[in-house]
Structure 1
Amino acid sequence: MTNLLAKIYDYHAWANADLLAKLATLDPERHKSELHTALRLINHYYVVARIFSAHLRGIPHAYVSDNTEETPALEELRMAMAASDREYRDYITSVSAADLEQPIAFAFTDGEKGYMTAGRC
């Protein structure tokens, strides 16, 4: 199962990198509004991934919302997402089946309580 998850995640990481590479080819002045919208949406996904990663590891995070106030630059977001993807890939290849079934209690950014297991999220 870990091999399958790793292969799936490798594809996910490749797709993230490819999407950001394609966005980098757009004229930033001509497509300013579209790029901003795309970066806001991708940043939302990134922030949620970081929150989820913190929950998986049982560590606190500093996010108060599912997006940041400021929109990161494309290159900054690309580097952050690549690091996050590597971290998730490392997690997938090192986590045990037993750890995947451990209950994880957490709080959403709005303060509501949540519960999950890594293997059934």
Structure 2
Amino acid sequence: MSTASLLTSLLQYKTWANQELFAEVQRLDPHTQQAELHAALRILNHIHVVERIFVANLQGLAHTYNATNTTETPTLAELQQAVQATDAWYLDYVAGLSAQQLEERLNFRFVDGDAGCMSRAEMLAHIVTHGGYHRGAVGRIMAQLALAPPRDIYTRFLHQSEPQRRQAAR
């Protein structure tokens, strides 16, 4: 499997995991679970802001963020729409990259002003792993409320999106 194919699969997984998690977060009651919903939104917004920062980094553009979260917390609906658009951007972006472009190292600045240098492939891998880490924190909030969080695992995504894989293993 090529690097581009693997990254495409991982970004598809990330898109699927985001859709599943947003559907589950909608189950939180904005009145009786206000604090937990707010905490979940802050975490999800952090993921989104970091992904938007890396959209700029991947294109060699400046971004307007001075932190890895925003002062204002978007609504769940606003955030879900923004995340879906960003997920689509990443899938379109990786589809247009050559193997050589994936390995190209790009210089950028972190929001704290420190210098960074990563290949495009490393940046895309960071987006996948960073989101997974923080989606797990939202899942933990849900579990503490006795709500089953989604099973956000790559193997589940692969076998759900390609059921023939289960047949091949038998």
Shorter chain as denominator, the TM-score bin is: over 0.9
SS of aligned partner of 2:71: coil
SS of alignment partner, residue 104 of structure 1 = strand
| Cross-structure match for 1:52 | 54
How many Å apart are 1:7 and its aligned residue?
2.1
- 1:5 positional shift: 2.2
Please tell me the root mean square deviation across aligned C-alpha atoms, in Å: 1.1
**Superposition misfits of 4+ residues, deviation over 3 angstroms:** none
Which of the pair has the greater relative contact order for Cα pairs under 8 Å at 6+ separation?
2
Residue in structure 1 matching 2:101, options 99, 108, 119: 99
**CA-to-aligned-CA distance 1:35-88 (integer Å, 9 cap, x gap):** 000000111011001101110111111001000001110000000000000000
Q: What amino acid maps onto 1:96 in structure 2?
A: S
- Structure 2: 5+ residue stretches without partners: 124-170
Match of residue 110, structure 1, among 97, 109, 112: 112
CA distance in 1, matches of 2:31, 2:16: 27
* Residue 10 (structure 1) shift: 1.1
Task: Show CA shifts across 1:2-27 (max 9, x none).
Answer: 23322221111011011111111221
Q: Which protein is bigger by CA-based radius of gyration?
A: 2
TM (norm. structure 1) is 0.94
| Alignment: residue pair count | 121
TM-score by length of 2: 0.68
Shift, 1:94, TM fit = 1.0
| Aligned match of 2:12 | 10
Distance 1:14 1:48 in 2: 18
Q: What are the equivalent positions in structure 2 for 1:23-42 lying under 5 Å apart?
A: 23-42=25-44
Identity %: 44
Q: Distance in 1 between matches of 2:40 and 2:122?
A: 29
